[in-house]
């Protein structure tokens, strides 16, 4: 019998077969595969697309040579909708608990959904710089999302902090809007792909400031500058800027993951097996939130999507076992 036509009932006394939490590339792909397995699946997510939707331009997803992140996210969503999967957007998971042999997901918005399987695809949380001025000036010139806030800085001077792919792609995007972009990085070489480093070097509007950290963000009611320190000479100076874009990576939502009882790796990501299963029966993790010794960490849309597909396949087989 075809794996795609096995008889798994779509409704089961109000209990879903699977709740996918998160609608980035991992969660949306998991939902596509589960729907094709005829599994009764629902998605709950705070947004659509996750980090993918915040990428100014995606130029490494095969078959789609160049596309804004938000557009690719829409394409994933359309694909999910083709299979009729319900998506609850604008709500985040608060707790996941085991009750009467099913998992129950409670959301910040007061929803309560139960299922045999949960696929966690909740990504990670943007890291803060934790310097004076940051808390006070968030939304007043400090941003963690170039694509969301970049247009407010037309013909202005901005700084991007970080040396990874997110920082460099943000700097390149901001250079199409702002008058000048400082790229402040704590080391002398960039972690980002050489492709982006070369583009940064040849962009007249971008001035890389290496071996430097931001020690304070200045301004009373709005950002007016950043105080930076050269980590080699110790010299400090002020750069006058109108905006600061912080792109220094992200961290897993450790407290939530711990509260579920999931085994985490040393960085706080969910320790997954090769099939994305976790230490808890029926809970799978995929995409950026997944970690552990079996995970090859290469945070790309294509790898997140692949992990979503693997989680869906493994979850489907588990479902067949427990439902008989």
For residue 95, what are its two tokens? 């707790």
Distance CA 267, CA 209 (A): 29
| Stretch binding ligand NAP (CB under 6 A), from 61-69, 98-106, 155-163, 262-270 | 155-163
Q: Which is nearer to ligand NAP, 45 or 165 (CB)?
A: 165
Half-sphere exposure of 199 (CA within 13 A, CB side): 15
Do 93 and 21 contact (CB within 8 A), yes or no? yes
Q: CA nearest 307: which of 48, 20, 26?
A: 26
SS3 label, residue 138? strand
Residues in region 202-261 near ligand NAP by CB under 6 A:
213, 247-250
Q: Which is nearer to ligand NAP, 60 or 313 (CB)?
A: 60
Q: CA nearest 105: which of 264, 315, 282, 317?
A: 282
CB atoms within 10 A of CB 61: 19
Residue 143 interacts with ligand NAP (CB under 6 A)? Answer: no
Dump the DSSP string for 95-122.
Answer: EEEEETTEEEEEETTS-EEEEEEEEE--
Q: Which is nearer to ligand NAP, 129 or 217 (CB)?
A: 129
Of 36, 71, 136, 187, the one binding ligand NAP (CB under 6 A) is 187
Active-site option among 149, 265, 275, 313? 149
Q: How far is the CB of 288 from ligand NAP (least distance, A)?
A: 7
Alpha carbon separation from 148 to 5, 47, 145, 241, 297 (Å, rounded): 42, 14, 5, 18, 27
Q: Which is nearer to ligand NAP, 60 or 149 (CB)?
A: 60
Torsion on CA atoms 91, 49, 119, 313, rounded to nearest 10? 150
148 is catalytic: yes
Of 150, 162, 208, 308, the one binding ligand NAP (CB under 6 A) is 162
Q: How far is the CB of 100 from ligand NAP (least distance, A)?
A: 39
Residue number with the smallest Cβ distance to ligand NAP: 164
Q: How far is the CB of 78 from ligand NAP (least distance, A)?
A: 22
114 is catalytic: no
Binding mask 64-103 for ligand NAP (x = CB under 6 A): ----------------------------------------
Do 65 and 71 contact (CB within 8 A), yes or no? no
18 is catalytic: no
Q: Which is nearer to ligand NAP, 302 or 322 (CB)?
A: 302
Do 311 and 304 contact (CB within 8 A), yes or no? no
Active-site option among 59, 135, 148, 188? 148
Of 94, 98, 156, 186, the one binding ligand NAP (CB under 6 A) is 186
Task: Tell me how far the alpha carbon of residue 56 is from its chain's centroid.
Answer: 14
Active-site option among 104, 145, 265, 313? 145
Do 239 and 212 contact (CB within 8 A), yes or no? no
Q: How far is the CB of 185 from ligand NAP (least distance, A)?
A: 6
Residue 50 interacts with ligand NAP (CB under 6 A)? Answer: no
Listed in sequence order, the residues at least 6 apart from 229 whose beta carbon sits closer than 8 Å to its beta carbon are: 212, 213, 215, 235, 236
For residue 309, what are its two tokens? 């597909």
Of 143, 166, 278, 303, the one binding ligand NAP (CB under 6 A) is 166
Which residues bind to ligand NAP, rule: CB under 6 A?
55, 60, 127, 129, 161-167, 169, 186-187, 191, 213, 247-250, 299-300
Known catalytic residues are 145, 148-149
């Amino acid at each position: 019998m075809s794996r795609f036509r096995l008889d798994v009932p779509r409704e089961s006394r109000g209990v879903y077969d699977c709740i996918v939490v998160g609608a980035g590339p991992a969660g949306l792909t998991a939902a596509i595969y589960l729907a094709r397995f005829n599994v009764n699946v629902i998605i709950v997510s705070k947004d659509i697309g996750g980090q993918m939707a915040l990428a100014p331009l995606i130029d490494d997803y095969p078959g789609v040579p160049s596309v804004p992140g938000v557009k690719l996210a829409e394409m994933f969503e359309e694909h999910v909708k083709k299979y009729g999967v319900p998506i609850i957007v604008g709500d985040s998971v608060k707790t996941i608990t085991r009750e009467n042999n099913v998992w129950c997901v409670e959301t910040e918005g007061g929803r309560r959904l139960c299922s045999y399987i949960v696929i966690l695809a909740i990504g990670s949380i943007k890291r803060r710089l934790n310097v004076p001025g940051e808390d006070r000036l968030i939304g007043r010139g400090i941003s963690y999302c170039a694509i969301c806030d970049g247009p407010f800085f037309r013909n202005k001077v901005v700084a991007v902090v970080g040396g990874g792919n997110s920082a460099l792609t943000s700097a390149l995007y901001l250079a199409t809007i702002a008058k000048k972009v400082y790229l402040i990085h704590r080391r002398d070489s960039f972690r980002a792909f050489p492709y982006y480093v070369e583009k940064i070097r040849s962009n007249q509007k971008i001035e890389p400031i290496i071996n430097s950290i931001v020690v304070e963000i200045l301004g009373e009611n709005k950002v007016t500058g950043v105080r930076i320190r050269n980590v080699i000479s110790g010299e400090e100076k002020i750069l006058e800027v109108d905006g600061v874009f912080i792109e220094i990576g992200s961290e897993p939502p450790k407290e939530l993951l711990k509260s579920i009882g999931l085994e985490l790796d040393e960085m706080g990501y969910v320790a997954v097996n090769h099939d994305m299963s976790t230490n808890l029966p029926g809970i799978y993790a995929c995409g950026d939130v997944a970690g552990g010794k079996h995970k090859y960490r290469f945070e790309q849309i294509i790898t997140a999507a692949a992990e979503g597909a693997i989680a869906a396949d493994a979850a489907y087989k588990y479902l067949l076992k427990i439902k008989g």
